[in-house]
Amino acid sequence: MNTRLDLLQPYPFEKLRTLFNGVAPSMAYTPINFGIGEPKHPTPELICEAVRTALDGLALYPSTSGTLPLRHAIASWLRRRYKLPSVDPATDVLPVSGSREALFAFAQTVIDSSYRSTEGFRPVVLCPNPGYQIYEGAALLAGAQPYYINSDPARHYICDYSTVPDDIWARTQLLYVCSPGNPTGAVLDLEDWRDIFALSDRFGFIIASDECYSEIYFDECNPPLGGLQAANTLGRSFKRIIMFSSLSKRSNVPGMRSGFVAGDASLLKSFLLFRTYHGSALSPVYQAASIAAWEDEQHVFDNRQWYAEKFNIITPMLEKVLDITIPDAGFYLWMRVSCTGLDDCTFAQRLYADYNVTVLPGSYLARTAHGTNPGSDYIRIALVLNRLECIEGARRIVEFCRSL
């Protein structure tokens, strides 16, 4: 067996099941689950119709590189969304089976597991903390050492890269960036990107920019800045940066597992080789449906309005009892619960027992690093349910906090 599998930690939702083991939720309430960030808004009919129309594609083996029409649709979307002057659909874009698969597989492609520093240390992958656990697992199974950069509440939960020692940067081969962030919703600005690019130029590491929440935001005049957009604005090429995007949140189709990667053509060439052997290719049916999704923006606008409506109603309710930082983007609320006198795990357990509401303890999304777990005393709630369910869940959270 691969002994590196022993390094993997239980996923947050496994920890949550263990936390709730033996806890009977109140039968006076119907269950409300804010724990999992799975989009629940309806799938647009134009995508459903595209799936039905393309069912003949089930008789075909999919191409790992994707069809030319799909790559053109993605390249066109990138140019529109990020005001990029040029994106070559033949070399700068690669469809993938969802961003999760790609984020994991990319590390297996670019990490040189045979590398050892002069002191004998392994290569490093830098991960935001708290963050998506796939980054950590990808690093470990690629033979690298994860190094966690704690988010800074004073900087609206942006990671402080100045805290990373030079000897760590010197061993770094891959930096995972998530903007908008999970769970905090923080968005990197141009100066943040300038700093990251300067570090990449100095130390030579690759940047993996996870942007799967990029299309859920609240200011139509100010969409989140993307990594490729930042590079272009700063007069750079796409050298050493790859962005990852997905239709799951943008278009409410998590079951399609459809996304793409774009950026440095030389990295994508190697990534395509890896994925060809890895056997990951998007179904021809979903490739056709993805074209319809990337070419339409009305359903994405409508989706944002539904989220904005929920945030506008629910945030004022919860602000009365909890310490909330309004996210720049995304569909999560990241809330400090220490004001209640409970830690994050006890808060989640008692809320579930007393009011049948599931939230995710923040410490499950982070690692203890540099003397602290930056997710401790926080909870994450995903506002993915319908408006009435979200309002009812928020009402119960307010009642629970006041009962304390």
Whether pLDDT at 315 is above 90:
yes
- Could you tell me which of 77, 67, 49 has the C-alpha nearest to residue 282? 67
> pTM of the entire structure?
0.97
Predicted pLDDT of residue 350? 97
Predicted pLDDT of residue 5? 95
Predicted pLDDT of residue 64? 95
Predicted pLDDT of residue 262? 98
Q: How far is CA 336 from CA 16, 340, 342, 377, 385, in A?
A: 18, 9, 10, 6, 21
Predicted pLDDT of residue 220? 96
Using one digit for the tens of pLDDT, what is the confidence trace for 180-213?
999 999 999 999 999 999 999 999 999 999 999 9
Task: Indicate the burial class of 28 (C-beta count within 10 angstroms; 0-12, 13-18, 19 or more).
Answer: exposed
Give the Cα separation of 161 and 388 in Å (integer).
40
The total of other beta-carbon atoms located within 10 Å of residue 140's CB is 19
Predicted pLDDT of residue 281? 92
Q: What is the domain class of 45-296 according to CATH?
A: alpha beta
Predicted pLDDT of residue 347? 98
Using one digit for the tens of pLDDT, what is the confidence trace for 127-184?
999 999 999 999 999 999 999 999 999 989 999 999 999 999 999 999 999 999 999 9
Predicted pLDDT of residue 187? 97
Predicted pLDDT of residue 197? 98
Using one digit for the tens of pLDDT, what is the confidence trace for 20-39?
999 999 999 999 999 999 99
Predicted pLDDT of residue 80? 98
Contacts of 345 (CB under 8 A, 6+ apart): 19, 361, 363
Using one digit for the tens of pLDDT, what is the confidence trace for 235-291?
999 999 999 999 999 999 999 999 999 999 999 999 999 999 988 899 999 999 999
Predicted pLDDT of residue 291? 98
Q: Where are the domains of the chain?
A: 3-42+299-403, 45-296
Give the Cα separation of 326 and 328 in Å (integer).
7
Q: How confident is the model at residue 41 (pLDDT cuts 50, 70, 90)?
A: very high
Residue with tokens 């993997």: 8
Contact 367, 136 (CB under 8 A): yes
Using one digit for the tens of pLDDT, what is the confidence trace for 71-127?
999 999 999 999 999 999 999 999 999 999 999 999 999 999 999 988 889 999 999
Q: What CATH number labels 3-42+299-403?
A: 3.90.1150.10
Predicted pLDDT of residue 119? 87
241 in helix, strand or coil?
strand
Q: Quick one: what percent of the chain has pLDDT higher than 70?
A: 100
The rounded mean pLDDT for the chain is 96
